[in-house]
Amino acid sequence: MSAPRLALVTGANRGLGRAVAEALARGGHRVLLAGRQAADLAREAARLGAAGLEAAPLVLDLGDPASIAAAAAALAAGPPLDVLVQNAGVFGEDSDRTAARRTLAVNLAGPVRLGAALAGGLADGARVVLVSSGMGELSSLPEAWRGQVEAASSDAELLLVADRFVAAMEAAGKTGSATLAYRVSKALLNRLARRLAGELAPRGVLVNAVCPGWVRTDMGGSGASRSIEEGARSILWATSLPAGGPSGGFFRDGKPIGW
Ligand code: NDP
């Protein structure tokens, strides 16, 4: 019998990440449930285990570079990852003066660092999904930020634009808008998907950004138009692409959407 394929999902304790992790486990993967809440993750792993599925918790705070490095070091000793879903994310509060900093740290800097730390530990032919949002479309950004986001390609450039954005919002003495911070973070995440796709193409790794649609999670709220299952399906599509499938794209429900 062959070993189960290994998947890692960030933000797996609730919302879309929890649903994606369970679906991957039901599809025969051994799933690493990554997130900040050790007790929640252990409970979730036990719930899946009781259903005969393979899952294990992995403590990972995307806002903390040391936590990312520790998680990557723990993984380095194990088998390569066949599926990586960078799902965790935050949408700040307008009134919170630290919202821009936190949003860019978790939604962009964390995924950049985790992507770099795990790239060497991906199996040839792996699938990588960055969970983004249609709100990150470049056309939705103010001109000044659109140009900078578009020009950023390396990890260092992505992090530099994120730092500049946070500094500008804090210098203005406000977050600007939590929505703008979220838009900028996801627009930069889309650039990361394109960059990783290029870097990993020689190894047959497919990397795509995916929007789940507006989903009834803690983040999306109860008035959102989609169920968690519908949103998760949009993400899962990109985890099971055939060899030679699209890479470096931005999709919702398996269909390309605008950058
Ligand atoms: P939820 O708010 O329900 O869940 C967010 C998840 O991210 C939680 O597991 C949370 O863990 C985790 N997380 C937050 N901060 C960190 C951190 N510092 N380190 C590790 N994990 C963290 O959101 P959704 O499930 O709705 O969102 C999942 C993804 O989908 C996000 O990237 C979001 O931007 C995207 N998306 C969602 C939409 C929607 O309508 N819901 C629409 C478009 C995109 P904890 O419990 O520790 O906070």
Q: What is the 3-state secondary structure (H, E, C) of the chain?
A: CCCCEEEEEECCCCHHHHHHHHHHHHCCEEEEEEECCHHHHHHHHHHHHHCCCEEEEEECCCCCHHHHHHHHHHHHCCCCEEEEEECCCCCCCCCCCCHHHHHHHHHHHHHHHHHHHHHHHEEEEEEEEEECCHHHCHHHCCHHHHHHHHHCCCHHHHHHHHHHHHHHHHHCCCCCCHHHHHHHHHHHHHHHHHHHHHHHHHHCCEEEEECCCCECCCCCCCCCCECHHHHHHHHHHHHCCCCCCCCCCEEECCEECCC
Average pLDDT over residues 62-75: 97
**pTM for this entry:** 0.97
With the C-alpha atoms ordered 95, 98, 100, 105, is the resulting torsion angle positive or negative? Answer: negative
Distance CA 255, CA 252 (A): 5
- pLDDT(207) > 90: yes
Distance CA 174, CA 208 (A): 33
Atom from ligand 1 closest to the CA of residue 216: 41
Selecting among 91, 182, 214, 250, the annotated active-site residue is 182
C-alpha of residue 235 to centroid of ligand 1, in Å: 13
User: C-alpha 107: how far from its chain's center?
Assistant: 7
Distance CA 116, CA 127 (A): 15
Distance CA 172, CA 141 (A): 18
Is 11 touching ligand 1 by the criterion CB < 6 Å? yes
C-alpha of residue 16 to centroid of ligand 1, in Å: 7
Beta bridge mates, 19: none
Atom from ligand 1 closest to the CA of residue 105: 18
pLDDT in tens, 90-120: 997 655 667 899 999 999 999 999 999 999 9
Non-local (6+) Cβ contacts of 56 within 8 A are: 30, 31, 32, 33, 45
Identity of the amino acid at 60: L
Is 89 touching ligand 1 by the criterion CB < 6 Å? yes
pLDDT in tens, 125-161: 999 999 999 999 999 899 999 999 999 999 999 999 9
pLDDT at 148: 96
- Atom 42, ligand 1: residue with shortest CA distance: 214
Average pLDDT over residues 176-194: 91
Is 35 touching ligand 1 by the criterion CB < 6 Å? yes
Is 217 touching ligand 1 by the criterion CB < 6 Å? yes
Is 159 touching ligand 1 by the criterion CB < 6 Å? no
Is 228 touching ligand 1 by the criterion CB < 6 Å? no
User: C-alpha 1: how far from its chain's center?
Assistant: 31
Is 219 touching ligand 1 by the criterion CB < 6 Å? yes
Residue 182 known to be catalytic? yes
C-alpha of residue 202 to centroid of ligand 1, in Å: 31
Q: What is the pLDDT confidence band of residue 1, given thresholds at 50, 70 and 90?
A: very low
Q: What is the pLDDT confidence band of residue 176, given thresholds at 50, 70 and 90?
A: low
The single residue listed with the structure tokens 């990397």 is 207
* Tokens representing residue 19 in the block: 């649903």
C-alpha of residue 160 to centroid of ligand 1, in Å: 23
- pLDDT(174) > 80: no
Write the burial class of residue 155 (CB in 10 Å: 0-12 exposed, 13-18 middle, 19+ buried). middle
C-alpha of residue 28 to centroid of ligand 1, in Å: 24
Atom from ligand 1 closest to the CA of residue 226: 40
Contact in structure between 127 and 239 (CB atoms under 8 Å): yes
Q: What distances in angstroms separate CA 226 from CA 113, 132, 180, one per listed residue?
A: 30, 16, 23
